[in-house]
Each structure stands twice: as C-alpha cells, then as structure tokens.
Amino acid sequence: MLVLSYRENEKFKSQGFNDLIVYSIQAVASLSAGVFLTLTSWKTMNLICIIFLITIILSTLRADIKERG
C-alpha cells in the first residue's frame, strides 16, 4: 500500500526507505529486549505490550470509521 501513494519514479526509493526503517526498529527492539527483561519482569513487559496493543486496535478502528464516513 505504501508504494500506491507515490509517483512511479519514487516507488522503489520509498519502499526501500520503509524497509530500512521497519527492520532497523525491529533490530533495536530485539537487541534491547534482553536488557529490558533483565531490568524488569515478564509481567511488566506484558503490561507494556497490552498498552501498545490497545493503541493499535484503537487507531485501526478510528481509521476504519474515518474511511467509511
């Protein structure tokens, strides 16, 4: 969907930049997970994940409502 919003000559550059951002964030999250787990507990990590999950669900629902309206 990302490349549909760009001009033909920008598609590959925007897709490459998106992949760079996604995989960089994924690498940082994977590397910091061990440190964060050492400093806290599994319960704390799960609670933080629930907060992110609720945020994702609410933003998805909002986007769906906005698209229909």
7-32 pLDDT, tens digit each: 788 788 888 898 999 999 999 989 99
- Is the whole model's pTM more than 0.85, yes or no? no
Three-state secondary-structure class, residue 30: helix
Alpha carbons 53 and 62: distance in angstroms, whole number: 14
Amino acid at 49: C
Contact 2, 18 (CB under 8 A): yes
Q: What is the pLDDT of residues 26-62, one digit of tens each?
A: 999 899 988 888 999 989 989 989 999 999 999 999 9
Does residue 4 lie in a domain region? no
Instruction: Look at residue 19 and tell me if it is in a domain.
Output: yes
E strand residue ranges, 1-69: none
Number of domains in the chain: 1
Report yes or no on 2 lying in a domain.
Answer: no
> Which residue matches tokens 């309206």?
69
